[in-house]
């Protein structure tokens, strides 16, 4: 298909007549992200990523949904009828939930966690990823590989587990995921660092956190405290220095071999040409997974063609896997509805029910945490303008619960300079950013 690339700073101009809209917003940038990590740390909540659940992920959703609903309004008013919003922004489930329920637009959420998991399983069992066919279902960042075939032959789950346990890098980097597979029977997305903060068991005691993570490399994703914040901060420093001095990366060539494994372009191809594409999509459940709530945003395999998305009925998730997902779904539901309505009580309840927050904090601490995060992030939370006035008054009046101000977490690493990144990552002086 022929394409023309143009740019504009006017959102409505960009959206006018659009059939497809990609959303990759990160509201508040590094400043808000720092609040997402550092304020919960004062209360003992030690996060690696903070983009899906836990205190940071919930607040990330409050900011993002405020912007997303404005985008949806513009789509309804100026985009083509039946325009499809392809959401790549985290927290995936909350953002897609809000767009689907409150945004009034067609929306699909897209992630690469399943593709990454396929490559990890292939590495663990000594196979090529292209020879694997999988069924992977659940919710975003907590999808479960319930069936794996290698060249059409079933791969037993105990073989996959043994492969991870005996692979030197996987055994070092993926301790939480391996432990979850031992206890629940199935390998799951997302990375060790992500998964560890969605659950109540692995990051609640500072003295135990290092047992479950690896900090021997510069890879943030294995679970270090504030790991993703460090990574993107280093990326910002690199960008400002390299681009500021005119050192631009090589231009990407748009050729077939450079095509990304991300689902987005294949969805557009399927809808425009009718060529069927099988992928993994985040959509309203209805009855795709029968023992997860019908209103939840689930992630499951499906097909897309010129008629849209077709999701086969999977049936029941294994009960233990469903229980893990259901705990997160309750938080996602409350978080999405709170963000869309500015309901501080629903926001507090979402925080209180979050698996890791509830493992670390008591209810009064959660109430104070919410007040503190609302006040710190007020400029990005217009829907909470009245609630923030009350939060400011409560914090000013006191008495306040004592917190660990300045606490850096159980496994925090220093932010590297651009020179240090170049020295340590000679094969990629941009440090992967």
Architecture field, domain 27-53+112-244+262-269+319-425: Alpha-Beta Complex (3.90)
Residue 394's alpha-carbon distances to 42, 122, 282, 367, 369, in angstroms, are 18, 53, 39, 10, 12
Task: Confirm or deny that 111 is annotated as ligand binding.
Answer: yes
Local confidence pLDDT in tens for the 433 residues of the chain: 677 889 999 999 999 999 999 999 999 999 999 999 999 999 999 999 999 999 999 999 999 999 999 999 999 999 999 999 999 999 999 999 999 999 999 999 999 999 999 999 999 999 999 999 999 999 999 999 999 999 999 999 999 999 999 999 999 999 999 999 999 999 999 999 999 999 999 999 999 999 999 999 888 999 999 999 999 999 999 888 887 777 777 777 888 888 999 999 999 999 999 999 999 999 999 999 999 999 999 999 999 999 999 999 999 999 999 999 999 999 999 999 999 999 999 999 999 999 999 999 999 999 999 999 999 999 999 999 999 999 999 999 999 999 999 999 999 999 999 888 888 876 554 444 4
Domain boundaries, the chain: 27-53+112-244+262-269+319-425
**Is 410 in contact with 210 (CB distance < 8 Å)?**
yes
- Residue 362 CA to residue 302 CA, distance in Å, equals 41
Q: Could you confirm whether 112 is annotated as catalytic?
A: yes
Strands (E), 110-266: 132-139, 142-150, 153-154
Q: Please enumerate in sequence order all residues whose Cβ is within 8 A of that of 142, keeping only pairs 6 or more positions apart, or say none.
A: 188, 189, 190, 195, 198, 324, 325, 328
Q: What are phi and psi of 191, to 5 degrees?
A: -60, 170
Half-sphere exposure (Cβ direction) of 151: Cα atoms closer than 13 Å: 4
Catalytic residue among 88, 102, 112, 407: 112
Task: Confirm or deny that 141 is annotated as ligand binding.
Answer: yes
- The pair of structure tokens assigned to 415 is 């932010």
Catalytic residue among 198, 202, 228, 266: 198
DSSP 253-280: P--GGG--S-SHHHHHHHHHH---EEEE
- The dihedral built from the CA positions of residue 411, 417, 423 and 426, taken in this order, carries a sign that is positive
What is the DSSP code (8-state) at residue 287?
Answer: T
């Amino acid at each position: 298909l022929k394409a023309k690339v143009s740019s504009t700073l006017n959102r409505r101009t960009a959206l006018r007549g659009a059939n497809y809209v990609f959303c990759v917003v990160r509201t508040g940038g590094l400043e808000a992200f720092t609040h997402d990590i550092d304020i919960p740390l004062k209360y003992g909540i030690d996060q690696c990523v903070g983009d899906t659940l836990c205190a940071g992920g919930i607040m990330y959703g409050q900011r993002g949904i405020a912007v997303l609903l404005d985008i949806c309004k513009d789509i309804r008013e100026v985009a083509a009828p039946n325009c499809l919003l392809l959401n790549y922004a985290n927290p995936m489930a909350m953002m897609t939930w809000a767009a689907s329920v409150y945004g009034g637009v067609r929306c699909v959420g897209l992630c690469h966690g399943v593709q990454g998991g396929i490559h990890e399983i292939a590495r663990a069992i000594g196979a090529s990823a292209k020879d694997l066919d999988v069924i992977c279902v659940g919710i975003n960042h907590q999808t479960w590989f319930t069936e794996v075939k290698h060249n059409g032959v079933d791969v037993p789950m105990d073989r996959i587990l043994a492969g991870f346990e005996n692979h030197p890098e996987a055994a070092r980097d993926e301790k939480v995921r391996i432990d979850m597979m031992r206890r629940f029977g199935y390998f799951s997305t997302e990375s060790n660092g992500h998964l560890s903060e969605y659950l109540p068991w692995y990051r609640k005691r500072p003295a135990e956190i290092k047992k479950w993570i690896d900090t021997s490399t510069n890879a943030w994703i294995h679970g270090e405290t504030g790991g993703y914040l460090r990574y993107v901060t280093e990326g910002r420093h690199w960008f400002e220095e390299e681009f500021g001095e005119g050192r631009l990366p090589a231009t990407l060539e748009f050729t077939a071999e450079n095509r990304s494994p991300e689902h987005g372009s294949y969805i557009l191809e399927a809808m425009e040409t009718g060529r069927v594409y099988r992928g993994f999509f985040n959509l309203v459940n209805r009855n795709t997974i029968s023992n997860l709530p019908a209103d939840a945003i689930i992630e499951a395999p499906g097909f897309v063609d010129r008629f849209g998305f077709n999701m086969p009925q999977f049936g029941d998730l294994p009960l233990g896997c469903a229980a893990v997902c259901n705990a997160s779904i309750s938080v996602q539901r409350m978080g999405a509805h709170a963000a869309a309505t500015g309901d501080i009580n629903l926001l507090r309840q979402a925080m209180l029910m979050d698996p890791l927050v509830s493992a670390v904090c008591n209810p009064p601490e959660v109430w104070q945490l919410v007040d503190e995060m609302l006040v710190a992030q007020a400029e990005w939370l217009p829907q909470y303008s009245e609630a923030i006035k009350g939060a400011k008054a409560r914090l000013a009046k006191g008495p306040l619960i004592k917190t660990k101000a300045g606490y850096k977490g159980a496994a925090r690493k220093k932010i590297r300079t651009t020179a240090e990144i170049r020295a340590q990552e000679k094969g990629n002086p941009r440090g992967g950013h």
